Amino acid sequence: MLRVNGVDIEDTFAEAFKMRAARAIVTAETAGWARTAATLASGYATSVIGCDAEAGLEAEIPAAGDP
**43 inside domain:** yes
Residue 27 C-alpha from the chain's centroid: 16
Question: Model confidence over 25-55: pLDDT tens digits?
Answer: 888 888 899 889 888 887 777 766 767 777 7
pTM score: 0.55
Position 15 scores a pLDDT of 67
In a domain, 39, yes or no: yes
Q: Which of 26, 19, 27 is nearest to 54 (CA)?
A: 19
Predicted local distance difference test score (pLDDT) of residue 9? 83
For 50: left if phi > 0, alpha if psi spans -120 to 50, otherwise beta; the answer is: left
State residue 33 phi and psi, 5-degree precision.
-65, -40
Q: Which residues span the domain enclosing 55?
A: 18-67
pLDDT at 11: 76
Question: Domain for residue 8, yes or no?
Answer: no
48 lies in some domain: yes
Q: Residue 7 domain-assigned?
A: no
**Domain total of the chain:** 1
